[in-house]
Structure 1
């Protein structure tokens, strides 16, 4: 993350928010966090957002995710994460799949 937190969020300096507190303690680019700590935050937030959405996850998507975990390099795994975050943030998502009985 080369840009400061405010670039990605609604945080503005001196707003007294949680984001201000996080930035003051861990740096505007989270430079005072380890990669493992950043991944933990990503995991918690992704899980929370996912639980807020309607619909089910297709079993083949779970299988693909497992294959990615097992077969891709860590760099490629991070690249997939970055691509997905961008797509989620900017609305590049397919419609909910239709399940036929």
Structure 2
């Protein structure tokens, strides 16, 4: 069972926010969006957050991205997406600041 927007965000009913508008338009669990639309928003948000994050991606991560998209099943890719979101929010991070530098914990 999915949880409503307010479980994951700062949304409070009646606050007049964009989150409230999204809930009114698409439902508290985005039930009025297609799977493709949800994935597009995930991609859009991730791309923008990536641009704002400090450092750079190691070249090997581009290879990993190709490998997971070409080798893993749909369910495993969805699970990996969920795991990465959780780790991004609650786990430790490494920063790669310069080409050739070893990653360091942030």
What TM-score do the two structures reach when normalised by structure 2?
0.88
Give 1:47 deviation, angstroms.
0.4
Cα distance in structure 2, aligned partners of 1:90 and 1:54: 17
Alignment of 1:36-55 (within 5 A): 36-55=36-55
Match of 1:96 in 2: 95
Task: Give structure 2 stretches of 5+ with no counterpart.
Answer: 102-106
**Any gaps of 5 or more consecutive residues in structure 1?**
none
Is 1:20 aligned to 2:20, yes or no? yes
Offset, 1:56: 1.1
How much is the aligned-residue C-alpha RMSD, in angstroms? Answer: 1.3
2:28 is the counterpart of 1:34: no
Deviation at 1:88, TM superposition (A): 0.5
Measure how far apart 1:14 and its partner are. Answer: 0.3
CA deviations over 1:31-59 (Å, ceiling 9, x no partner): 11111000000000000000001211111
Alignment match, 1:62: 62
